[in-house]
Structure 1
Amino acid sequence: MKLNRMLIAGVIALVCVFNPLFAKGTKDAESAKSANPVIETEKPDILRMSVLNGPSGIGMVPLFENAPDFDGVPSSFEVSASPQVLLPKLLKGEVDAGILPINVAAKVYTANKQAVVLAAITGNGMLSVISRDTSVKSLADLKGKKLTVAGQGGTPDYMIRYLARSEGIELNTEGGIEIDFSIPTPEIVPALLSGKIDYALVPEPFSTVAAIKDKSVVRVLDVQKLYEKACGIDGCEYPVMALVVRKAFAEKYPVTVDLFLQACKKSVEAVNADPKTAGALVEKHTLGLKAPIVAASVPRSAFVWQTASESRQNVERLLSVFAEFAPESIGGKLPDDGFYLK
């Protein structure tokens, strides 16, 4: 049990814890850029990025190992303990880019005079219901049972509400599903392993930790599949991790930002191609997770690279779910067109 807690203690819960579109518009924009290349009259002294401790930084870890130079502009990468630590750095200009939960990114944009813009989605949904009860095949099979949920006020919270409603299932009523937020996220897996609880809705890498420690614990429900069914659209995904850039920085240094985003894309691709190496780097650069857990969880973690325009429809769809249940969680309204980096 002590080992379980040590493995899990380093994991920061996702508090928030998604189909390309505008393809023609993207191609047209790329053609326009080729025809009219942007030339920066000056360059920044450095490009600084911060990621959150835990899963959000995994996709960027190759950049921690080899910080790129963007046509003469050096870069630096650091880890922040939480969004509450990262946000002031972004707003003060102490860092130029960061990864935030998508609803937090939207709220910052709306509440802080469009201080940041969404550059890309680096991670899609990775929620699962885990249990030893393999008779659970659908959400309806959880009726009359208690489901412990990680992250009240974040994506897991509003996602389970949305999915239950889409299937006509009552929550916290007799004969419905009882939702429990009483256990802190890092303690959910130990509670499941000890038999204190029987069903849990958790993000990666928690489900991987549970499966590694006890082979009888399995992912009985894949929330991505449930969400796609509820959307009624093939390929409907929900974004979790948003790469944002300070708007002023993006407007002043578009060439540097473009080179930076190309490097981020390659970084995510490298992680997906070689989870073992990524795990070693995550542990080396103290991103809060052990190498074996990262290596095992990456294939299930939905690390992606989707530009702002490619992901916009999925972003707006998920933010609409947040807006329905808790408008304040996204700043009171959906962000406007300026939120999406062109």
Structure 2
Amino acid sequence: MFKKILSVLAAAALCASMAACGASGTSSAASEPVSGSSVAQADSTAETATEEASSGALRVAGLKGPTTMGLVNLMAGEQGENYEFTMYGAADEIVPLLVKGELDAAAVPANLAATLYQKTSGAVEVACINTLGVLYVVELGNNIQSVEDLKGATILSTGKGTTPEYVLRYVLAQNGIDPDRDVAIEYLSEATEVAARLTAPSTDSQTLVAMLPQPFVTSVVAQSEGGIRVALDMNEEWQKVAGSKLVTGVLMVRKDAVEADPEAFAGFLTGYEASVKTANTDLAGTAALCETYGIVAKAALAEKALPACNIVFETGDEMKADLQNYFQVLYDADPASVGGQLPGDDFYYAG
């Protein structure tokens, strides 16, 4: 048995745990992709990255938020002793370690995996989708019943130039709403700012709504004591117009780590799948572990948020189809968001 390393961050303020779920555009774990800048910083490191396959325990990185909420039961279980788990506060911290071969796998935003695939000349692949859409439109009132009702609204959001912007603009456009003419989209740096604005709306005639990620949505709705409600699930709205799921997070892995011991990696995925199943069925137990490991500040919040975090385990053809559709939309909006070009077939782990 290998020694299990659990680098547990102490439970911090609620807003800190929300940031990893997409509250800021620079350190998202779940709802926002990492821009090319973080990968560019590690690009020179890629040239000197070790060519040796990883030996010993699989070294897995996670971020605070929904992606690691799906891993937590594996981390805490007996099988977890076979792996080294480390958590980080931002995806930017993971990039150079993965490029240098100091990490074998990481639960990261989907577009970061695509970008690293390009930057490392195909040295990484995606093994599974672990999180679908965690974005929701919320409002103070009861005016928004459909996407069409957003016409004329002021929409507050985070993530300018990242997944929230791409998702919002795409869904609006596909519903006949011009994002530049028919609505006023205002991007703020933190989800806490969005929530504050939503609860103290201006007196102008426009409807004020916000697009926020989970589990921040659950917290805001609870604290508003019924004043703020979830109006639209952007995952559902995406599926209506795109024909496939809105992908948020994936498990990315170095190919040399898989090739070093294919059976061991397959065993890891089996344990991961079981962990995700438990996360979706044993909400109380999973929530308690999320608090223990500092993934979410309070178990009560995690338990309420889990059903809305869309934690999944998708592999094979389903994974490939959903990712290809998602990447195509991102590419059409901004090619740099997926590394300049769409990933090849070798990007998708076949088992």
Normalised to the residue count of structure 2, the TM-score between the two structures is 0.82
Show the counterpart of 1:207: 217
Question: C-alpha offsets along residues 218-242 of structure 1, whole Å, 9 cap, x if unaligned?
Answer: 11112122112212x4xx2111110
Show the counterpart of 1:297: 305
Q: 11, 14, 17: which one pairs with 1:10?
A: 17
Instruction: Read off the aligned partner of 2:197 and give its amino acid letter.
Output: A
User: 2-side partners of 1:58 and 1:278: how far apart?
Assistant: 8
Instruction: Read off the aligned partner of 1:95 and give its amino acid letter.
Output: L
Secondary structure at the aligned position of 2:284 is classed as: helix
Number of residue-to-residue matches in the alignment: 306
User: 2-side partners of 1:67 and 1:309: how far apart?
Assistant: 30
Query: Any residues of structure 2 matched to 1:69-108 within 5 Å, and which?
Result: 74-108=82-116
After TM superposition, give the deviation of residue 206 of structure 1 in Å. Answer: 1.5
Query: Any residues of structure 2 matched to 1:274-289 within 5 Å, and which?
Result: 274-289=282-297
Show the counterpart of 1:240: 248
After TM superposition, give the deviation of residue 280 of structure 1 in Å. Answer: 1.2
Identity of aligned pairs, percent?
Answer: 28
The question of whether the paired residues in 2 share the 8 Å contact of 1:151 and 1:185 is answered with no
User: 1-side partners of 2:270 and 2:136: how far apart?
Assistant: 31
User: 1-side partners of 2:72 and 2:58: how far apart?
Assistant: 16
Moved more, 53-62 or 191-200: 191-200
Secondary structure at the aligned position of 2:249 is classed as: strand
Q: 268, 274, 277: which one pairs with 1:269?
A: 277
Show the counterpart of 2:193: 187
RMSD: 2.1
Normalised to the residue count of structure 1, the TM-score between the two structures is 0.84
Query: Any residues of structure 2 matched to 1:53-64 within 5 Å, and which?
Result: 53-64=64-75
The question of whether the paired residues in 1 share the 8 Å contact of 2:61 and 2:106 is answered with yes
After TM superposition, give the deviation of residue 167 of structure 1 in Å. Answer: 1.7
After TM superposition, give the deviation of residue 326 of structure 1 in Å. Answer: 0.8
Show the counterpart of 1:307: 315
Pick closer, same or farther for the CA change 1:205–1:307 going to 2, 3 Å. Answer: same
Give the unaligned 5+ runs of structure 1.
18-41
Q: Does 1:317 align with 2:325?
A: yes
After TM superposition, give the deviation of residue 144 of structure 1 in Å. Answer: 1.8
Pick closer, same or farther for the CA change 1:323–1:263 going to 2, 3 Å. Answer: same
Q: 247, 258, 261: which one pairs with 1:250?
A: 258
The question of whether the paired residues in 1 share the 8 Å contact of 2:130 and 2:249 is answered with yes
User: 2-side partners of 1:74 and 1:263: how far apart?
Assistant: 11
Query: Any residues of structure 2 matched to 1:140-155 within 5 Å, and which?
Result: 140-155=148-163
After TM superposition, give the deviation of residue 264 of structure 1 in Å. Answer: 0.6
Pick closer, same or farther for the CA change 1:211–1:92 going to 2, 3 Å. Answer: same
The question of whether the paired residues in 1 share the 8 Å contact of 2:296 and 2:302 is answered with no
After TM superposition, give the deviation of residue 63 of structure 1 in Å. Answer: 2.3
Secondary structure at the aligned position of 2:256 is classed as: helix
User: 1-side partners of 2:54 and 2:16: how far apart?
Assistant: 41
Give the unaligned 5+ runs of structure 2.
1-11, 23-27, 32-52
Question: C-alpha offsets along residues 269-310 of structure 1, whole Å, 9 cap, x if unaligned?
Answer: 111111121111111111243211110011111111101432
The question of whether the paired residues in 2 share the 8 Å contact of 1:309 and 1:340 is answered with no
Instruction: Read off the aligned partner of 2:142 and give its amino acid letter.
Output: T
User: 2-side partners of 1:85 and 1:167: how far apart?
Assistant: 38
The question of whether the paired residues in 2 share the 8 Å contact of 1:309 and 1:341 is answered with no
